[in-house]
Amino acid sequence: MTRAAVAALIGAVFVAGWSATSAQEGARERWAVVIGANHPGGPRMLPRKHADADAEAFYDLITTTGGFKKENVLLLTDHSERKPTLRNIKYALGTFLTRSAERDALVIMYFAGQGAAEAGGAGLAAYFLPSDADRDDLYSTAILLNDLQFIFQGIQAERMVAFLHCSYSGAAAGPGLASKKAPGRGDEGSFLERLGGSRGRAIVASSKPSEVVLEAPDLGHGIFTYYVVEGLKGAADLNGDGIVSLQELYEYVEREASRKSRAIGGNQHPMMKGELDFPLPLIRVPRP
């Protein structure tokens, strides 16, 4: 075989391999809903000034480094086309994701805003507040955090993560979601291979059920989102394999957010509950 023929053969193999990888990329779509709703605060409630900035930072990261197609991500903030009203949030979760995300997809739901709790028939009920919530009528105008479990059931994707950045968010990680630490699988395999081998659903909450979330003026964000974004940029790649898994991200955020909350005189401890059969890869860290 001539040198030119060998070169042509190598080129053909390279193109075929690249095409196969591209096809594999398209086979596992990634979908997301990203919500940011500021709140002026009120009696027994801290204001939430940076929820918009938190949501926009998360959106910018997943639609660039994260590889999510912009048409697959619905952003709801006071500055976006769709505002974070109760109706729009229900559309995003119950219609957009339910109709779009197929079984093999990865779905991420991200909530940044204020939470509220009130006594109910079965104890304390915790809510996420849309931009048009009525503090005197949470049942009718807010999102009950425990209802996220029913939203999960309506979406057929086998890989789903909800990030809840609001006060009392740990209430959503209560009964109905069994805690299960995924076994290790080593570093072998590409991002897509590892994504395809993972199954499960999890909620990462910014605080325990009785805690309020904190914002740090020096960070320009709520402390939970700040460390989620920093972790996904690569700080949470604890084993240095170039991929940030959900478990790695949680361990990093739990440590750093708890530390930062103590430094500014607060007490905030992120939680994670869910069920994963293998470590779920979230993002491939760009190499320098």
Q: Mind listing the pLDDT tens digit for each residue in 85-98?
A: 999 999 999 999 99
Q: What's the CATH architecture for 29-284?
A: 3-Layer(aba) Sandwich (3.40)
Give 285's DSSP letter.
P
pLDDT, tens digit (0-9, with 9 covering 90-100), for 211-268:
999 999 899 999 999 999 999 999 999 999 999 999 999 999 999 999 999 999 999 9
Residue 21's pLDDT band, with cuts at 50, 70 and 90, is: very low
Question: In terms of Cα–Cα distance, which of 219, 184, 193, 208 is closest to 268?
Answer: 208
What single string gives the DSSP state of each residue in 147-210?
GHHHHHHH---SEEEEEEESTTGGGGGSTTS---PPPP--S-S-HHHHHHT--EEEEEESS-TT
116: its two tokens: 């509220």
Average pLDDT value for the chain: 82
Domain boundaries, the chain: 29-284
The Cβ-side half-sphere exposure at 279, using a 13 Å CA radius, reads 23
Handedness of CA 211, 217, 219, 220 (dihedral sign): positive
Dihedral, 39, 72, 152, 268 alpha carbons, nearest 10:
-40
Q: Across residues 191-219, what is the average pLDDT?
A: 81
Radius of gyration of the chain (CA): 20
Q: What's the confidence (pLDDT) of residue 174? A: 53
Q: Which 3 state secondary structure label does DSSP give 261?
A: helix
Q: Across residues 60-74, what is the average pLDDT?
A: 95
pTM above 0.85, yes or no: no
Does the pLDDT of residue 49 top 50, yes or no? yes
